[in-house]
Structure 1
């Protein structure tokens, strides 16, 4: 097990190194001079030269790369041109809505997808099975912004059950801020439940046809014990994999939903950074999101050891 963890840690280091390199190269491959693009067409040559010196763009490319890697390894991802703050500080200030939105959306998706997927596999070919597949395809096909607008129209505006947008005022407490996340969480949860539902159903179908499941039934075990203890436990690895990937996708891909509900999260921050040409924020977000994917993959691999002890061997 130690060698397994060591290999995973080495793989993480390699991936992070590649991500840092790609982030560095992408900014340098942008058309035109980054300093000129950041300042706009009205900037004077002196202002462009000053910004180039401030960003270190006037130094040799290998020196820039070494400096960038050294700063990144120390937690310095640069300074936002718009906020005039360290990039990590800017991202930390916007992380709360995005993280909680991803967690609540994943909870909604699991509540919908897991029991329906298990029951659909158990009742293969039934009306519920066909209805669940159709509903999953429909949920995956409808864009999240359209679902969000429909919920805003009826659940927020007409019925007044939830806030239509925003994240509470400046003095809003934690409960009020979480209340503003209910509607966008339902929107994202319904959209992302489709993939988890289909994986759960497919994994359960494979396991329910195994010989040891038929043997368990022949021994007189109850159907509930057979499905939940034997089948679901052995079908857990593919389900855990898709859950981990879904959480990472929710964190990095909630841009549209945050824009629809006007949430001050990381997705909204990246869109505004692109419009403002705030390249340090874009570059820092890319690195942080890639690091999150690496950590989620590591956590998923460790969960394999908990769910199925055979993975240790």
Structure 2
């Protein structure tokens, strides 16, 4: 088990090194001078030269890469040009809405998908199974921003049950802020549940016909115990995989949803950074999102060890 964990940690470091290198190269190979792009067409040559010196773009490429790598290791992702604050500070200030939006969306997706996927596999070929498969395909084809607009129109504008946008004022309570996350979390959760439904159904179908399931039934066990304790337990690895991938996708998918609902999260920050050509913020956000992807995959690998003893060897 220790060897498995060590291999995963080494893999994480290699992936992050590749990501840091790609992020570094992307800015350098982008057509045009990054400093000139950030300052706009009205900038003077003196302003561009000063910004290039501030960003270290006037140094040799290998020196820039070494300095950038050292800064990332220290947790220094640079300073936002337009916000005039460290990139990590800007990301941390906007992390709360994105974190809770991702968490609630994932909980909604799992709460919808697991029961439907399990029961659809158990009732294979039935009307419920066909309806579940159809709804999963429909949900997968719906853009989250379109569903978000529909939810705003019905539940916020017509019924007035939830706020249409924002995250509450500076003095808003935690409960009030959570109320602002209901509609975007539902929109993301419904769309994300489609993939989990399909994987859960397929994984359960693979194990429901195995010998140990038939043996459990022949011993007189209840169907609930057979399905949950025996079949679901052995079908968990692919389900955990798709849940982990869904969590990672929700982090990046929150960009559009946060824009639709005007949530002051990391996604909204990235959109504004792209529009303003604030490269330090874009680079920092890419590294943070990539790091979260890697951490989520590592957590899923650790869950594999707990769920399946064969992975420990």
Q: What is the TM-score of this pair, normalised by structure 2?
A: 0.99
Q: Which residue of 2 aligns with 1:21?
A: 21
In 2, Cα distance between equivalents of 1:225 and 1:171: 49
Q: Which residue of 1 aligns with 2:67?
A: 67
Q: Is it true that 1:98 corresponds to 2:98 in the alignment?
A: yes
- Show CA shifts across 1:213-247 (max 9, x none): 11111111111110000000000000000001101
Q: Which residue of 2 aligns with 1:120?
A: 120
In 2, Cα distance between equivalents of 1:55 and 1:149: 40
Within 5 Å, give how 1:125-136 maps onto structure 2: 125-136=125-136
Q: Which residue of 2 aligns with 1:167?
A: 167
- Show CA shifts across 1:197-226 (max 9, x none): 000000000000111111111111111110
In 1, Cα distance between equivalents of 2:46 and 2:229: 70
Q: Which residue of 1 aligns with 2:254?
A: 254
Report the Cα offset of residue 169 of structure 1. Answer: 0.9
Report the Cα offset of residue 185 of structure 1. Answer: 0.3
- 3-state DSSP class of the match of 1:169? coil
In 2, Cα distance between equivalents of 1:275 and 1:146: 22
Q: Which residue of 2 aligns with 1:287?
A: 287
Report the Cα offset of residue 310 of structure 1. Answer: 2.0
Q: Is it true that 1:8 corresponds to 2:8 in the alignment?
A: yes
Q: Which residue of 2 aligns with 1:184?
A: 184
- 4+ aligned runs moved over 3 Å, structure 1: none
| Unaligned ranges ≥5, structure 2 | none
Q: Which residue of 2 aligns with 1:274?
A: 274
Stretch moving more, 252-261 or 129-138: 252-261
Q: Is it true that 1:51 corresponds to 2:51 in the alignment?
A: yes
Q: Is it true that 1:152 corresponds to 2:136 in the alignment?
A: no
In 2, Cα distance between equivalents of 1:311 and 1:13: 21
| Unaligned ranges ≥5, structure 1 | none
**CA RMSD of superposed structures (Å):** 0.7
- 3-state DSSP class of the match of 1:181? helix
Q: Is it true that 1:194 corresponds to 2:194 in the alignment?
A: yes
- 3-state DSSP class of the match of 1:58? coil
Q: What is the TM-score of this pair, normalised by structure 1?
A: 0.99
Q: What is the count of residue pairs matched by the alignment?
A: 313
In 2, Cα distance between equivalents of 1:207 and 1:280: 49
In 2, Cα distance between equivalents of 1:226 and 1:296: 30
- Show CA shifts across 1:133-189 (max 9, x none): 000011111111111111101111111111111100121111111110011000000
In 2, Cα distance between equivalents of 1:78 and 1:116: 46
- 3-state DSSP class of the match of 2:48? helix
In 2, Cα distance between equivalents of 1:145 and 1:287: 25
Q: Which residue of 2 aligns with 1:240?
A: 240
In 1, Cα distance between equivalents of 2:135 and 2:41: 50
